[in-house]
């Protein structure tokens, strides 16, 4: 369920592997997984654009080594030394094949780090574009992903912008701190979700903490899309 809050170990158990890297292409032949972060100390510059339905995800660096003590000054690589594609290369190839009408968009499950050991499930996205650009020191990969089933961003109006589905990281952090990391109804600290007080389907906004609260799975399901 989107906006679910998941401890790291539970996230790994759910996916059936240790998610130690941020980019995981086709780990189970059905979808890919990326781990994102918009925190101030995040190693990569991931961000959400427009109405909140578009994610721009930055590719990942070469591993740190004796030969490469500072990966942040080295171009992100498309190929491994043996000629195989890196994770950057795999995602880039999928995006370019989609652009050239050679395949359907790659379906990508997105998890976002919001606190040490705590992640938020942001739902499924379609990978629709990719490119390389300079960050001022080296070339990095950028990937454009769009929420599955989201509105056409080219036709979005100002009302749509206020009703974005993805809850901004700053709002998540504010709500997490305000609600003490527990359900506002029963105080449970497990199986938590970020819940829209006025539901998204009824015009509730995601861009202010005043409309977001923490609920456990049971109370979130009981509330459904009712306005209480």
Mean pLDDT along residues 206-224: 89
More confident residue, 225 or 139: 139
Share of the chain above pLDDT 90, in %: 62
Return the exposure string of 142-152: e unless at least 16 CB atoms fall within 10 Å of the residue's CB, then b: bbbbbbeebbe
Mean pLDDT along residues 203-217: 90
Q: Are 178 and 172 spatial neighbours (Cβ–Cβ below 8 Å)?
A: no
Give the pLDDT confidence of 62-90 residue by residue, as tens digits: 999 999 999 999 999 999 999 999 999 99
For residue 185, pLDDT over 50 is answered with yes
Return the exposure string of 97-115: e unless at least 16 CB atoms fall within 10 Å of the residue's CB, then b: ebeeeeeebbebbbbbbbe
Cα dihedral 198, 201, 202, 203 sign? positive
d(CA 139, CA 155): 32
d(CA 219, CA 190): 12
The whole-number pLDDT of residue 1 equals 63
The whole-number pLDDT of residue 226 equals 58
d(CA 228, CA 142): 41
The whole-number pLDDT of residue 180 equals 93
Give the pLDDT confidence of 22-39 residue by residue, as tens digits: 999 998 789 999 999 988
Looking at the domain that runs over 4-155, which CATH code has it been given? 2.30.280.10
Q: Where are the domains of the chain?
A: 4-155, 167-228
In the three-class reduction of DSSP (H, G, I as helix; E, B as strand; rest coil), residue 120 is classed as strand
**CA torsion angle for 85, 124, 119, 69 (degrees, to 10)?**
20
Q: How confident is the model at residue 153 (pLDDT cuts 50, 70, 90)?
A: very low
The whole-number pLDDT of residue 78 equals 98
d(CA 205, CA 162): 6
Mean pLDDT along residues 97-113: 96
Of 171, 226, 210, 179, the residue nearest 3 (C-alpha): 171
Give the pLDDT confidence of 154-179 residue by residue, as tens digits: 443 434 434 456 788 888 889 999 99
């Amino acid at each position: 369920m989107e906006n679910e809050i998941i401890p790291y170990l539970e996230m790994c158990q759910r996916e059936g592997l240790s998610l130690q890297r941020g980019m995981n292409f086709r780990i189970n032949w059905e979808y890919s997984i990326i781990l994102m972060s918009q925190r101030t100390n995040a190693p990569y510059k991931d961000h959400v654009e427009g109405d909140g339905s578009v994610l721009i995800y930055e590719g990942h660096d070469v591993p740190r080594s004796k030969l490469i003590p500072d990966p942040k000054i080295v171009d992100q690589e498309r190929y491994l030394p043996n000629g195989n594609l890196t994770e950057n290369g795999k995602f880039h190839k999928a995006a370019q094949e989609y652009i050239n009408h050679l395949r359907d968009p790659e379906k990508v499950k997105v998890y976002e780090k919001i606190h040490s050991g705590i992640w938020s499930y942001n739902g499924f996205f379609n990978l629709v574009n990719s490119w390389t650009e300079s960050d001022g020191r080296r070339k990095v990969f950028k990937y454009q992903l769009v929420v599955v089933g989201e509105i056409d961003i080219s036709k979005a109006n100002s009302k749509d912008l206020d009703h974005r589905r993805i809850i901004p990281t700053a709002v998540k952090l504010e709500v997490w701190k305000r609600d003490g990391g527990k359900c506002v109804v029963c105080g449970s600290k497990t199986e938590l979700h970020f819940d829209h007080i006025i539901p998204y389907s009824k015009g509730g906004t995601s861009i202010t903490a005043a409309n977001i609260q923490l609920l456990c799975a049971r109370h979130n399901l009981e509330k459904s899309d009712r306005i209480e």
